[in-house]
Amino acid sequence: MSKRVFIFDTTLRDGEQVPGCQLNTVEKIQIAKALEELGVDVIEAGFPISSPGDFNSVVEISKAVTWPVICGLTRAVEKDIDVAVEALKYARHKRIHTGIGTSDSHIRYKFNSNREEIIERAVRAVKYAKKYVEDVEFYAEDAGRTENEYLARVIEAVVKAGATVVNIPDTTGYCLPEEYGAKIRYLVEHVDGIHKAVISTHCHNDLGMATANTMAALLNGARQCEVTINGVGERAGNTALEEIAMILKSHKEIDLETNINSKKIYGLSRTVSSLMNMPVQANKAIVGRNAFAHSSGIHQDGVIKDMSTYEIIDPKDIGLDGNAIVLTARSGRAALRTRLEALGVRLSEEKLDKTYQEFLRLADKKKDIGDEDLLVLSGMDRSDDHHVKLEFLQVTSGVGVRPVASIGLDIAGEKFEAAAVGNGPVDAAINALKEIIKRPMVLKEFTIQNITKGSNDVGKVHMQVEHEGKLYYGFSANTDIVAASVEAYIDCINKFKQV
Ligand code: KIV
Ligand code: ZN
């Protein structure tokens, strides 16, 4: 029988630390339920003491999810642990994830402390957490740059104190696969009592080695890996769940298996991307738009003759169905629900109603609605609680004319109108918007992507606007890309403190 690897998903904690990609509680619950269906073993639902929003998300996810262990992050601080215990009150299976920095740099600069004191603090935190929950995971932050001998002493002490899982993060993404694998092997061979705990990997992708490092750790005795959907996470992100799941599924000779239902991967990847406003890189392994697109003639010819010539994974295994149902304006609400569920998206009745209305509006403009369109629509009902709403937009542009736009806004029930020119239709529309909202705002990033193909396609717009030293991210999708751009700008504005 294959050996089991536990999948610890941290999309909602480490993944959500990406600036501007924060999710609200309803969105987090949607993702948590989809992670449960995907088959993850542990969901790190948040860092409860960090904000009331995070606390509340951990509470609500604990109520919404049945099978996976729900985990709350803490520092090695009693107050953090108290708050996490409270947030996990409703979880059927709960885990406290506590820890402290162990590298010399963390000990000296972060804690102004010394190695012995750090061990004492680590042990104290584990013992304190153990009073409330049986399942306590300890993380040795910056373990990647911690000297192995000292790391082994820390890990031995926390296992003795009752840690059930020991997490060895490569916090800075610095380790080489060989080095990280050897670190795990060192712990397996030198820590007394290590068999009482599961060794966990937690790798960051700063040098593009997160997946390679995670694999090196698994091959050397780690049995849990901490990952995120699409590899989202601060800086260059974390190890991508879909990569580890598909490596282990494809390489049977490794004899390690997960509980992941790989057919749910694609749908969840797109849900996370649209809810977090984080486009998936086209050539991203497993879930990128081009991951299965063979463009060279030789490859196409081979794949047509037999898929195994150039494809190592069957796209159907990740839920990419070449024969996906295409919905049209005549499709009913039930067909929409069925298709979304097949993509791993379960909506409340209320949200399904709103998505169906959006679907009908889009179907009026675009004949065939595919999976990507549906995933965008289902993650798109944020404008309801918007303080600033777009009432109308009229733009004139073309060759030989000066682009001009007039715009109408509803700001908390009050109507405003303005017009402006610009060097293009989007510029004119944004200038008109700025005539009404006179706040310092600088557009920092602006991307337009089509979802599938064709001139009748939906354009997805991601924007980043700087306001009073902070970055705000906005998203919209529309068959009219000027309208989508203005809506995305307004999405950013709605996130400012006060308009
Ligand atoms: O990267 C890291 O070290 C972490 C810990 C808090 C687990 O995210
Ligand atoms: Zn991390």
- Residue 452 pLDDT class (50, 70, 90 cuts): low
Q: What is the pLDDT of residues 50-78, one digit of tens each?
A: 999 999 999 999 999 999 999 999 999 99
Q: What is the reported pLDDT for 379?
A: 65
Q: What is the reported pLDDT for 495?
A: 83
460 shares its domain with 366? no
What's the 470 CA to ligand 1 centre distance in angstroms?
24
264 shares its domain with 360? no
CATH assignment at residue 391? 3.30.160.270
99 shares its domain with 138? yes
Say if ligand 1 is within 6 A of residue 139 CB.
yes
Examine the pLDDT at 453 and tell me if it is beyond 80.
no
Answer whether residue 286 is part of any domain.
Answer: no
State residue 99 phi and psi, 5-degree precision.
180, -175
Q: What is the reported pLDDT for 385?
A: 67
304 shares its domain with 425? no
Instruction: For residue 142, give the ligand 1 atom closest to its CA.
Output: 3
Answer whether residue 68 is part of any domain.
Answer: yes
Examine the pLDDT at 457 and tell me if it is beyond 80.
no
- Residue 351 pLDDT class (50, 70, 90 cuts): confident
Say if ligand 1 is within 6 A of residue 128 CB.
no
- Residue 322 pLDDT class (50, 70, 90 cuts): low
39 shares its domain with 101? yes
455-486 as b/e: b if 16+ CB within 10 A: eebbbbbbbbbebeeeebbbbbbbbebbbbbb
What's the 239 CA to ligand 1 centre distance in angstroms?
12
Answer whether residue 499 is part of any domain.
Answer: no
12 shares its domain with 138? yes
Q: What total number of domains does the chain contain?
A: 4
8 A C-beta contact, residue 227 and residue 269? no
- Residue 320 pLDDT class (50, 70, 90 cuts): confident
Answer whether residue 287 is part of any domain.
Answer: no
336 shares its domain with 236? no
Number of other CB atoms surrounding residue 7 within 10 Å: 24
> What mean pLDDT is reported for the chain?
90
Question: Tokens standing for 119?
Answer: 């061990």
Answer whether residue 85 is part of any domain.
Answer: yes
Answer whether residue 1 is part of any domain.
Answer: no
- Residue 364 pLDDT class (50, 70, 90 cuts): confident
- Residue 20 pLDDT class (50, 70, 90 cuts): confident
Comparing C-alpha atoms, which of 464, 458, 468, 469 is closest to residue 491?
464
Answer whether residue 442 is part of any domain.
Answer: yes
What's the 140 CA to ligand 2 centre distance in angstroms?
11
What Cα–Cα distance (Å) separates residue 132 from each residue in 49, 72, 82, 312? 17, 13, 9, 46
Nearest CA to ligand 1 atom 8: 14
Number of helices and strands in the chain (H, E): 16, 16
424 shares its domain with 466? yes
Q: Strand 224-227 vs strand 256-257: parallel, antiparallel, or unpaired?
A: unpaired
374 shares its domain with 397? no
301 shares its domain with 157? no
Answer whether residue 418 is part of any domain.
Answer: yes
362 shares its domain with 428? no
391 shares its domain with 356? no
CATH assignment at residue 34? 3.20.20.70
Sheet holding 459-467, edge to edge: 442-450, 459-467, 470-478
Q: What is the DSSP string of 91-158?
A: -SSEEEEEEEE-SHHIIIIIT---HHHHHHHHHHHHHHHHTT-S-EEEEEETGGGS-HHHHHHHHHHH
DSSP state for residue 174 in the 8-state scheme: -
In percent, the amount of the chain with pLDDT more than 90 equals 65
Number of other CB atoms surrounding residue 149 within 10 Å: 9
Q: What is the reported pLDDT for 26?
A: 84
Phi-psi region of 474 (alpha: psi -120 to 50; beta: other; left: phi over 0): beta
> H or E segment at 6?
strand 6-9
Q: Which of 339, 361, 381 is the last residue of a domain?
A: 381
Domain that residue 302 falls in: 292-318
- Residue 306 pLDDT class (50, 70, 90 cuts): confident
Instruction: For residue 14, give the ligand 1 atom closest to its CA.
Output: 8
Say if ligand 1 is within 6 A of residue 202 CB.
yes
Say if ligand 1 is within 6 A of residue 141 CB.
yes
Q: What is the DSSP string of 360-424?
A: HHHHHH-S-B-HHHHHHHHT-GGGGG-SEEEEEEEEE--TTS--EEEEEEEETTEEEEEEEE-SS
As residues whose CB is below 5 A from the ion ligand 2, the structure lists 14
Q: What is the pLDDT of residues 193-238, one digit of tens each?
A: 999 999 999 999 999 999 999 999 999 999 999 999 999 999 999 9
Task: Give the number of the ligand closest to the Cα of residue 106.
Answer: 1
Q: What is the pLDDT of residues 125-175, one digit of tens each?
A: 999 999 999 999 999 999 999 999 999 999 999 999 999 999 999 999 999
8 A C-beta contact, residue 266 and residue 320? yes
Q: What is the pLDDT of residues 416-441, one digit of tens each?
A: 999 999 999 999 999 999 999 999 99
Comparing C-alpha atoms, which of 202, 258, 279 is closest to residue 20?
279
CA distance 95 to 84: 9
8 A C-beta contact, residue 191 and residue 159? yes
Nearest CA to ligand 1 atom 1: 171
42-53 as b/e: b if 16+ CB within 10 A: bbbbbbbbbeee
Q: What is the reported pLDDT for 321?
A: 72
The top-scoring range by mean pLDDT among 177-186, 276-285, 308-317, 436-445 is: 177-186
Test site for ligand 1: of 73, 145, 180, 232, most ligand atoms within 8 A of the Cβ: 73
